[in-house]
Structure 1
Amino acid sequence: MEEVELCFPQLLNASCRRPEPPQSEDLLINILLFFTSVLTAALNLLVIISISHFRQLHSPTNLLLLSLAVSDFFVGLLVLPIEVLFTRTCWVLGDLVCALYFFLPVTLISASVGSMVLISIDRYVAICDPLHYPTRVTDKLVTVSICLCWICSVLYSVFMLYDHLKQPGRYNSCYGECVVNIAGDVDLVVAFIIPITVIVVLYMRVFVVAVSQARAMRSHVAAVKLQFSVTLTQKSELKAARTLGIAVVVFLICYSPYYCLSLTGGSILVGSSTEAFMSYLMYFNSCLNPVIYALFYPWFRKAVKHIVTLQILQPDSCEANVL
């Protein structure tokens, strides 16, 4: 009877006790998380294909959305399935895979946060300095910024998990366990307080300028064609800022609970139901982003229609009009 309760019965006292079998509620939650994982990967893959394939969508803002979609795609493809498979079960993949597993979500979440910061900067320049936006925010600059964002995310993950990567399993109390020790204060400041402060400050500035522009457009009716085209451009930029602003608000709602508990001095026990819920809430944000695009971006709906109907397989489909 005692051996049956161990993850590795042959290791006797060195093995962890096998967790209790999941209850019916846990099974339903795992099924829901599995479908969330599939939906997250599928929707973000549609975003990746859309922006990569259609030339009309090759803009600096959409490149930032592409970076965000890539990190969200891997959350749905790799992170969530492993969370589902190894919830309330013994870890049987070894200490090295455990180290690499924690390295993956830290990198992806850091890249998502970095992408959100870049999106906020992009909207700030587009709304607050529209005349210089085409010269200041170029495809080359955005590409370099995205590469630096991902490189910094990897380096940050190495820094946060250095002890764990150097000696996998050093924090495990028994075989069949996968735990890490992360410097919570450092993670709180670098991954939450600094980027959230930047995002909120920039979007508050964008909101103030957007309101003033909206009032100006209502009080001054365009009399010439040039003025009319400028007004349309401003409306387009404001609409993009509104849509991305919604994505930023959803991002804050999903990420804030996890870090706010640390900010108030509370502690989160790794493996507890609270930690699991807050982690899943952060991961669920990866599923919500493409849903927001589908609701507010006509180009995304048109691109998805081309993809689903296999029109992208036709010659010169990349030149299709999706705007």
Structure 2
Amino acid sequence: MMEIQKRAELCFPQLLNSSCRKPTLQWSKAVLLNIVLFFISLITAALNLLVIISVSHFRQLHTPSNILLLSLAVSDFLVGLLVMPLEIIRNTACWFLGNLMCSVYVYLTGNITCALIGNIVLISADRYVAICDPLHYPTRITVGRVKISVCLCWFYSTVYSSLYMKDILIEPGRYNSCYGECVFVINDIAGIVELVLTFIVPVSVIIVLYMRVFVVAVSQARAMRSHVTAVTLQRSLNQTNRSELKAARTLGVLVVVFLASYCPYYCYSLDNENVANDPSASFVVMIFYFNSCLNPLIYSLFYPWFRNAVKLIITLQIFKYDISEANIL
């Protein structure tokens, strides 16, 4: 009887001592949790797909800032379509997809996360130039240069993830202690490099750039409200128009939400070496991934063009002739 019960607790009963134990979460709770998380994953992919279609289809939206939002939406879309479902499987059930898919999952997670962070850095740099050096913005930040920057961001993410995870790519499942789990372990040196390149440097750059943007935006807003001299007001209006300030505030909300979800995740991983098998870590990880669902909601709240584009997409008007030239701003 004890032998039968022990086998029932294993992911692969036929493997006996080589198999991992099943997660201890009750069946009813596991089903409910999976339904909720998969629904969030589906919503994340759908909302970001709307952003991708909107910016790609309508020519009026082909601006440097929107190209960066498009790249961010692609990374968020991949999080909802691939990373979140695999993370749900890994944390709420036995890993039954094999060692090769485990390596693919780990690589995708690292690659997409790195690209997502890079996109946030590029967005911060774009707003910094737009607010702090508005006269040179049209010449310095062009659509062509932004596209090159986005390509370099994804190329860097791919190369960095390949080097960082070469061990598990060469030998899938090398860190798994039993069949039914998917684990990735890093050594101390690699952990320090990751800490610097994926947390300290990008977060510091984002904070410094947006602190500068915030200071300049506040000074511009005060100048606009000031009635000391007409010259000061006119100069202020010429330097930074209200649309740029509004875009800076909107993207500032996006950056703050990103930092609020990313910092707890990374701080938790620093204090816990075995995050992959820690049940309490799954909540922090899913909060970080949930940020990908919040970004399109931020666009819908602050960007009228996104709401207008979604209406045209949902009503299938995008299939009309020359609709890509429509004025949706």
For 1:221 and 1:141, locate their aligned partners in 2 and report how far apart those are by CA, in whole Å: 40
Alignment-derived partner of residue 204 in structure 2: 197
Question: Which ranges of structure 2 fall in alignment gaps of 5 or more residues?
Answer: none
Alpha-carbon shift at residue 177 of structure 1 (Å): 1.8
For 2:283 and 2:274, locate their aligned partners in 1 and report how far apart those are by CA, in whole Å: 11
Equivalent residue in structure 1 for 2:304, among 298, 309, 314:
298
| Structure 1 residues 220 and 237: alpha-carbon distance in aligned structure 2, compared to 1, 3 A threshold | farther
DSSP 3-state at the match of 1:87: helix
For 2:39 and 2:166, locate their aligned partners in 1 and report how far apart those are by CA, in whole Å: 33
Amino acid at match of 1:277: F
Alpha-carbon shift at residue 22 of structure 1 (Å): 3.5
For 1:262 and 1:90, locate their aligned partners in 2 and report how far apart those are by CA, in whole Å: 22
Amino acid at match of 1:150: W
Q: Is residue 2:24 matched to residue 1:17?
A: no
| Structure 1 residues 90 and 29: alpha-carbon distance in aligned structure 2, compared to 1, 3 A threshold | closer
The 5 Å alignment of 1:263-282 reads: 265-282=271-288
Question: Could you list the per-position Cα deviations for residues 151-197 of structure 1 after superposition, in whole angstroms to 9, with x for gaps in the alignment?
Answer: 11111111221111111111111122211113433222211111000
| Structure 1 residues 273 and 18: alpha-carbon distance in aligned structure 2, compared to 1, 3 A threshold | closer
Alpha-carbon shift at residue 254 of structure 1 (Å): 0.5
Check conservation: 1:22, 1:88, Cα contact below 8 A.
Answer: no
TM-score (norm 2): 0.91
Alpha-carbon shift at residue 60 of structure 1 (Å): 0.3
Amino acid at match of 1:207: F
Equivalent residue in structure 2 for 1:139, among 143, 154, 175:
143
For 1:228 and 1:28, locate their aligned partners in 2 and report how far apart those are by CA, in whole Å: 58
Alpha-carbon shift at residue 243 of structure 1 (Å): 0.1
| Structure 1 residues 33 and 159: alpha-carbon distance in aligned structure 2, compared to 1, 3 A threshold | same
Segment drifting more, 20-29 vs 75-84: 20-29
Question: Could you list the per-position Cα deviations for residues 101-132 of structure 1 after superposition, in whole angstroms to 9, with x for gaps in the alignment?
Answer: 11111111111100000000000000000000
Amino acid at match of 1:99: S
Amino acid at match of 2:47: L
Equivalent residue in structure 2 for 1:107, among 108, 111, 115:
111
Alpha-carbon shift at residue 311 of structure 1 (Å): 1.0
Equivalent residue in structure 1 for 2:180, among 176, 185, 191:
176
Check conservation: 1:268, 1:275, Cα contact below 8 A.
Answer: no
For 2:195 and 2:89, locate their aligned partners in 1 and report how far apart those are by CA, in whole Å: 28
Alignment-derived partner of residue 186 in structure 1: 193
Alignment-derived partner of residue 79 in structure 2: 75
Alignment-derived partner of residue 219 in structure 1: 226
The 5 Å alignment of 1:47-62 reads: 47-62=51-66
For 1:274 and 1:189, locate their aligned partners in 2 and report how far apart those are by CA, in whole Å: 25
For 1:210 and 1:23, locate their aligned partners in 2 and report how far apart those are by CA, in whole Å: 52
Segment drifting more, 211-220 vs 37-46: 211-220
Alignment-derived partner of residue 152 in structure 1: 156
Amino acid at match of 1:40: T
| Structure 1 residues 191 and 94: alpha-carbon distance in aligned structure 2, compared to 1, 3 A threshold | same
Question: Could you list the per-position Cα deviations for residues 229-270 of structure 1 after superposition, in whole angstroms to 9, with x for gaps in the alignment?
Answer: 95596100000000000000000000010222355x554532
Check conservation: 2:134, 2:240, Cα contact below 8 A.
Answer: no
Question: Could you list the per-position Cα deviations for residues 183-215 of structure 1 after superposition, in whole angstroms to 9, with x for gaps in the alignment?
Answer: 433222211111000000000000111111112
TM-score (norm 1): 0.93
Alpha-carbon shift at residue 223 of structure 1 (Å): 7.6
Question: Could you list the per-position Cα deviations for residues 75-101 of structure 1 after superposition, in whole angstroms to 9, with x for gaps in the alignment?
Answer: 111111122234332222111111011
Segment drifting more, 111-120 vs 82-91: 82-91
Segment drifting more, 65-74 vs 267-276: 267-276
Question: Could you list the per-position Cα deviations for residues 38-87 of structure 1 after superposition, in whole angstroms to 9, with x for gaps in the alignment?
Answer: 11011100100000011110000000000000000011111111222343
Equivalent residue in structure 2 for 1:42, among 21, 43, 46:
46
